Amino acid sequence: MTPIVTFFNNKGGVGKTSLVYHTAWILHDMGKRVLAVDLDPQANLTSAFLPEDKLEELWGDQPGIRTIFQGVREFRDNQDVQAPEPILIDAGLFLLAGDLRLAGEEDTLVECWIKTSNPDQDQTRSFRGMRMFSKMAQDVATRLKIDIILFDVGPNLGAINRAALVASDAIVVPLAGDLFSIQGLRNLGPTLTSWRKGWENRLTNYAKTSGASPGIELPAGAMKPIGYVLQRQKVRFGRLVQAFTRWLARVPAEYHEHLLGTKGVNETIASDSECLAMFKDYQSLVPLAQDARKPIFHLRAADGALGAHSTAAREASADYRAFAEKLLARLP
């Protein structure tokens, strides 16, 4: 099975989708075959990769399965799921496209979660539903010889994200230095524990009622936190703005307590091994990259990256590569 890494925080505005987009590209630059999967109903990752004319085509009414939503609809109508056709972004980099209509499928996944807990009825269809994102991604990964799968999900604790996390081997938590990220950690930790335990119990009960083998391949639902990333840090004269430093200082202890279950940790951001990266705010590079439809570390002089911008783009490449190396080293 190809490892699935989900970038998840129930607090929005922490640069999650940008992190997934740039991680996909830097892993590709490092020679990995990468599949990015857009499970956020806002579909921001898809719009980062594709121009508007392509989005209009994808989200039109033509027959076929071109987006994640259409794959889920296939399950709803035909009892099983079929992956959308992967979109080739660059040699070795592929996308399973998101769709704003995916938000309407929350009820389908709520029903599957509830029914998989009831051993007094045939649960096969409901388990097929709960493994739909895993099956889509793994089927494509097998066919395309993918090395790593990256999931982008929305900033909430709903049924779509629960199904995405059930499919996940590892979780990276993007954070910002603010009160909302601290509170997000306090919400996220207990929720992951509950989902992980709930899925373990369902797998155990299903194996008992269906015999030694349940007949369908189901994900283990490990959803192991492998670290956090701090994004968009405001820098003034080389120092973090004071308003951020107060909250940054609390991140290690909060992460260890609520995500790893370890209280009383006394680490700084610099000494905490769970901090995979702290990216600065690249500011004026961002609009250049958006206009060029490139990651910031691919910007060149022709894109307007001159002088200090060119230097910043090279620094960004080194920063993202260092993060990607840590990520790969921590995969289960």
Any idea of the CA torsion for 234, 239, 242, 245, to the nearest 10 degrees?
Answer: 80
Q: Please give the Cα distance from 93 to 102 (Å, whole number).
A: 23
Quick one: pLDDT at residue 327? 98
Q: Please give the Cα distance from 137 to 166 (Å, whole number).
A: 13
Neighbouring-strand partners of residue 35: 94, 149
Q: Please give the Cα distance from 202 to 189 (Å, whole number).
A: 20
Q: 175, 194, 192: which is closest to 184 by C-alpha?
A: 175
The yes-or-no verdict on residue 200 having pLDDT over 60 is: yes
Q: What radius of gyration do the chain's Cα atoms show?
A: 20
Quick one: pLDDT at residue 302? 87
- The owner of tokens 């705010």 is 281
At CA 166, angle to CA 165 and CA 171, rounded to 5? 35
The yes-or-no verdict on residue 243 having pLDDT over 80 is: no
Quick one: pLDDT at residue 239? 54
The yes-or-no verdict on residue 211 having pLDDT over 70 is: no
pLDDT digits (tens, 9 = 90+) for 92-149: 999 999 999 999 999 999 999 999 998 777 788 899 999 999 999 999 999 999 999 9
The amino acid at 71: G
Q: Please give the Cα distance from 74 to 93 (Å, whole number).
A: 25
Answer yes or no: are the C-beta atoms of 139 and 192 closer than 8 Å: no
pLDDT digits (tens, 9 = 90+) for 63-105: 889 999 999 988 887 767 889 999 999 999 999 999 999 999 9
Q: Please give the Cα distance from 149 to 139 (Å, whole number).
A: 11
Is residue 32 very low, low, confident or very high in pLDDT (cuts 50, 70, 90)? very high
Alpha carbon 127 to its chain's center? 22
Q: Please give the Cα distance from 159 to 186 (Å, whole number).
A: 19
The yes-or-no verdict on residue 4 having pLDDT over 90 is: yes
Per DSSP bridges, beta strands 239-240 and 235-236 are antiparallel
Say whether 244 sits in a helix, a strand or coil. helix
Element (H, E) at 70: helix 68-78
Q: Please give the Cα distance from 211 to 217 (Å, whole number).
A: 14
CATH code 3.40.50.300 for 4-281 = yes
The yes-or-no verdict on residue 234 having pLDDT over 60 is: no
pTM beyond 0.85, yes or no: yes
Q: Please give the Cα distance from 229 to 320 (Å, whole number).
A: 11
What Å distances lie between residue 84 and 38, 141, 269, CA to CA?
Answer: 11, 12, 40
DSSP 295: -
Is residue 60 very low, low, confident or very high in pLDDT (cuts 50, 70, 90)? confident
